[in-house]
Structure 1
Amino acid sequence: MTRPDIDPELRALLADLPLMSQLDPEVLAHLRQLPPTPVDTLLEGRAVDRREVTVAGPDGVPIPLSIFSPAGTDRGTAAPCVYWIHGGGMVMGDRLSNIDIPLEWLDLFQAVVVTVDYRLAPEATGTTLVEDCYQGLLWVAAHADELGVDPTRIVVAGASAGGGLAAGLTLLARDRGGPAIAAQVLICPMLDHRYRTTSSRQYATGPGVWTGEMNQFGWRAVLGDLADADVPGYVSPAVADDLSGLPTTYIDAGTAEVFRDEDVEYASRIWAAGGQAELHVWAGGFHGFDALYPAARVSAAARRTRTDWLGRILSPAPDTAVSALSSV
C-alpha cells in the first residue's frame, strides 16, 4: 500500500538504527535481557527526591512504584501529580522507560511523578495489567497528603502501550467512581486490538520501531484465550461502548505509524460523546519518534506542544472576565 513517508530528518536518523519488523518469543526474551533505563543519568543535575514503594495488586502480587518529587521546594501548596504508565507493547519495558518525558514536567510544573511497574504479557493477560495500574493509582490518591499531591490535579499519562493502558485506566476509574483524574495524556496510544484500520495495514511492516506485525504479537500476548467479542474496553479502549464522562484528553501520533487512525478515531468518539480532546497528528512522525529522537525538529515541536497543553491544564490562566472586573 502507498503510505505517508517519514519526515526526512527522522528518516536520516532512523537509517542508523538497527530495526526489526517482527517479534516472537525468542526475540522478546532477548529484548528483556537488555540493560534497564539508566535513570541515574537522567537525574543528574536535577533536584529530585526518589522513593520506592510497593503496593499489593488485586491478587496480592506486589506492584513496584517509583516516586520522583522536586527536592527543596516549599510544600505550602500541594503539587500536581503525573501518574506515568510505560510503553513496550504490553510485553516489555519497565516503569523507568521514557521517564525523561514526565521528568520534564516535574521540572516545569513542580509535579510529583509516580510511575508503575505493571505485570507484562504473556505471563499476565486480560485485565491484569490495567488492574495493576489501577491499584497504583488508588495508592497515590490515598496517600496524596503524604506525597504533597493535590488529589484534584492527578494526570494519567503514558506512551504507546502505556497510552492504551492510561486510556483503559481512565475508563476503569470512571466506572468505579474514582479516583478522580484531572486529565489524560495519551502519547501514540495502543488502543485497538482489531487490526482493522488503514494505518495498521499501511505499516504492517517497517520502516519504524513498531510495526503492525509486532503489534499483533503484543495483542495476542495480552489477550490470551479471550475471544474477540469478549475483549473489554479496559484492555482495548477502542471497543468501549461509552466514552462519555472522561477527563480532558490529549492525544498525539504521527502520520507514518500504525496507531494513527485508531488514535484519530478515539479523539473523534470523545468529541461525539460531548467530551474535550486535543488531537495532534505530526506529519512524517513514525511510532515513538519524539521519544527516540527528541532533538529532531518535528519531535521538539511535538513535545513542546504537549507540554504547553499540560501547562494550561495544571496552571490555568485566571478568568479574564474576573480580572477585568477587579481592575475597574
Structure 2
Amino acid sequence: MVLSPDYRLTPEHPFPAAIEDAYTTLCWITRNANTLGIDPARIGLTGESAGGGLAAGLALLTRDREGPTLLFQNLVYPVLDDRTTTGQPDASPVGGEFLWTRTSNTFMWAALLNPVAPGAADVSPYAAPARATDLSGLPPVYLSVGALDLFLDEDLAYAQRLIHQGVSVELEIVPGACHIFDQTDTPVATRSIARRIDAMKRGFGL
C-alpha cells in the first residue's frame, strides 16, 4: 500500500508546514494500521527531489520525536542541503546544467525557508537534512542520483556521513543522468526504477 500525503506547499506555506503534515500523516497511518490492513512495524519512506529531502527530514524528525518505527528510506535525487545556494568547494562542473539549475535551486530554498535565508546558521536539519550532525539510528537508506544532477555532491556527502555513523546505505549513481531522469522513456530510467523497486522490496523483507 502506498499513501502520499497532500502536504502544504511553498511559497504559501514555508517550513515547517510540509514536514509537520508528513509527520501527522505518518502517525495517522500507524494509529489506523488495522483499518488500513497494514503492519505498523513495516512502514518505509520514499520520495523524489524535494520529496526525497522531505522523506529524509521526516526520518530525522521521527527518530528525534521517538515516533513510529521506520524500516527504510528510499531517496531519489533528494534535495538535502540549502548551502548549495552559497557555493560548494570542488562542486561538479556539470551539476545543475540541465533541467534543475542553480537559479531554480536558490528560488526553491528561499521559498521553503522564508523568512530564514538559505545558508544561514540557523537552518533546521528537518528542512535541510544535511545540516544534521547526528545521523545515527536512522533506518537503512537507498539513494539514487544522476551523475549530472545538481544534487550529486550533497547526496554523496550525505551518504558517506550516514555510512560513517553506522547507517546501512545502498548508493546508485546513474551515469549521464540529470535531475528527474527517471521520468523519461529511456533504458537508463527503466533500469533505475527497477533497482529502486527492488530496494523497496528488500526493505520490506520480500
Q: TM-score, normalised by structure 2?
A: 0.93
C-alpha change, 1:200 and 1:123, in structure 2 (3 Å) is farther
Number of the residue aligned with 1:76 = none
- Where 1:153 maps in the other structure, the secondary structure is coil
Number of the residue aligned with 1:278 = 170
Tell whether 2:75 aligns with 1:186.
yes
Q: CA deviation at 1:200?
A: 6.8
Tell whether 2:132 aligns with 1:240.
yes
Code of the residue aligned with 1:267 in structure 2: it is A
Q: CA deviation at 1:139?
A: 0.6
Deviations 1:218-276 (A, max 9, x none): 00001112151111100000011110000011101000110011111111011010110
For the aligned residues, what is the CA RMSD? Answer: 1.4
Number of the residue aligned with 2:150 = 258
Instruction: Please say if residues 201 and 258 of structure 1, whose CA atoms lie closer than 8 Å, have aligned partners that are also in contact.
Output: no
- Aligned with residue 25 of structure 2, among 125, 136, 145: 136
- Where 1:141 maps in the other structure, the secondary structure is helix
Number of the residue aligned with 1:147 = 36
Q: CA deviation at 1:161?
A: 0.1
Number of the residue aligned with 1:307 = 197
- Where 1:229 maps in the other structure, the secondary structure is coil
- Where 2:144 maps in the other structure, the secondary structure is strand
Structure showing greater relative contact order (alpha-carbon pairs closer than 8 Å, 6 or more residues apart)? 2
The unaligned stretches of length 5 or more in structure 2 are: none
Q: CA deviation at 1:194?
A: 0.5
Higher strand share: 1
In the alignment, the residues of structure 2 paired with residue 272 and residue 203 of structure 1 have an alpha-carbon distance, to the nearest angstrom, of 25
In the alignment, the residues of structure 2 paired with residue 312 and residue 156 of structure 1 have an alpha-carbon distance, to the nearest angstrom, of 13
Instruction: Please say if residues 254 and 285 of structure 1, whose CA atoms lie closer than 8 Å, have aligned partners that are also in contact.
Output: yes
The unaligned stretches of length 5 or more in structure 1 are: 1-111, 317-328
- Aligned with residue 16 of structure 2, among 127, 136, 149: 127
In the alignment, the residues of structure 2 paired with residue 147 and residue 308 of structure 1 have an alpha-carbon distance, to the nearest angstrom, of 24
In the alignment, the residues of structure 2 paired with residue 296 and residue 190 of structure 1 have an alpha-carbon distance, to the nearest angstrom, of 23
Report 1:1-328 matches (<5 A).
112-195=1-84, 196-197=87-88, 198-199=90-91, 202-204=94-96, 206=97, 208-227=98-117, 228-290=120-182, 292-293=183-184, 295-316=185-206
Code of the residue aligned with 1:155 in structure 2: it is G
- Where 2:42 maps in the other structure, the secondary structure is strand
In the alignment, the residues of structure 2 paired with residue 150 and residue 303 of structure 1 have an alpha-carbon distance, to the nearest angstrom, of 25
In the alignment, the residues of structure 2 paired with residue 267 and residue 113 of structure 1 have an alpha-carbon distance, to the nearest angstrom, of 25
Instruction: Please say if residues 14 and 111 of structure 2, whose CA atoms lie closer than 8 Å, have aligned partners that are also in contact.
Output: yes
Q: CA deviation at 1:199?
A: 4.5
C-alpha change, 1:203 and 1:175, in structure 2 (3 Å) is same
Runs of 4 or more, structure 1, over 2 Å off, are 196-204
Instruction: Please say if residues 95 and 152 of structure 2, whose CA atoms lie closer than 8 Å, have aligned partners that are also in contact.
Output: no
Instruction: Please say if residues 200 and 259 of structure 1, whose CA atoms lie closer than 8 Å, have aligned partners that are also in contact.
Output: no
Q: TM-score, normalised by structure 1?
A: 0.59
Instruction: Please say if residues 199 and 259 of structure 1, whose CA atoms lie closer than 8 Å, have aligned partners that are also in contact.
Output: no
Larger Rg: 1
Code of the residue aligned with 1:314 in structure 2: it is F
In the alignment, the residues of structure 2 paired with residue 187 and residue 215 of structure 1 have an alpha-carbon distance, to the nearest angstrom, of 16
Report the identity percentage: 42
